[in-house]
Amino acid sequence: MNISGNTILITGGGSGIGLALAEEFKKLGNEVIVAGRTQAKLEVAASKGLHTLTVDMTDLNSIDSLVEQAITLFPALNVVIHNAGVMKNEKLIGQNNSQIAAETIATNLTGPIQLTNALIPHFLKQKTAGIITVTSGLAYVPLAMTPTYSATKAAIHSYTQSLRYQLQDTHIKVKELVPPYVRTALMGARQAQDDNAMPLEDFVSEVMSILRDQPTTEQILVKRVQPQRYSASEGEAKYKEFFKKQNDMLMNARKKEWDAL
């Protein structure tokens, strides 16, 4: 995938990783459309010279209407980054999490699938095209505190492989961006200030270098996410050890937040 000269739609691009990627892609000479549901965030994006459209990724009609508008206004649209996502704690004992689980699946899994279905016919008519899904290190080693979130990211990893296989004889290239823990407000203010999270600028800068230097890579893996990504290849015992260590450490570090649920 070329990293300039595209018309790129980024869902949830009004904040965090999506907004930072949008700004980088614009600097490189791409037309960038940021789609989101919060007007205030879209106004910030517009003030940075990005195009904006409204979408609620939990609403299939809203996704269809986004695609209709995007194709009408930006007929050269040829890349989508499925970045919108929600991540919430779910205590599975003593709490009813149906609402959180349904919202998480709709936003992180059904939404990107629907958007992909709606865009493929248009992308097939373009000269070059790309679909970038956004998973997480937690697709490979789940965080037990966010079970539905981790499951949706594992599901998107699976879906991405099937999508790539079915599109292999077309010009639509499929990539998976796998962020580690990054300093954004995905889980609120605590994450946005957490020194243990990778600084957003460092993450985006490494992602852009990978896209530039390894144009055919199927997975965009910054160094920090590689231990999680490859933990299963170390064998079952090592994987179990990694899983327990990660979950014990984070459950301990976030005990206050967890107990307050």
* Positions marked catalytic: 149
Complete edge-to-edge strand list for the sheet that includes strand 79-82: 51-54, 31-36, 7-11, 79-82, 129-134, 172-177, 219-220
Give the single-character DSSP code of 234: G
Look-up of token digits 């899994």: 109
Q: Name the residue whose CB lies closest to ligand NAP.
A: 16
Applying CB under 6 A, the span of 24-32, 78-86, 214-222, 230-238 interacting with ligand NAP comes to: 78-86
Positions in 143-182 near ligand NAP (CB under 6 A): 179, 181-182
Smallest distance from ligand NAP to CB 20, Å:
8
Residue 58 token pair: 């939990």
How does strand 7-11 pair with strand 172-177? unpaired
- Total chain residues near ligand NAP (CB under 6 A): 28
**From 100, 186, 208, 222, residue interacting with ligand NAP (rule: CB under 6 A):** 186
Among 86, 143, 155, 204, binds ligand NAP (CB under 6 A): 86
User: Interface residues for ligand NAP in 36-75 (CB under 6 A)?
Assistant: 36-38, 41, 55-58
- Using CB under 6 A as the binding rule, whether residue 243 contacts ligand NAP is answered as no
| Residue 85 near ligand NAP by CB under 6 A | yes
Please tell me the distance from the alpha carbon of residue 210 to that of residue 16, in angstroms, as a whole number.
19
User: How many other C-beta atoms lie within 10 A of the C-beta of residue 251?
Assistant: 13
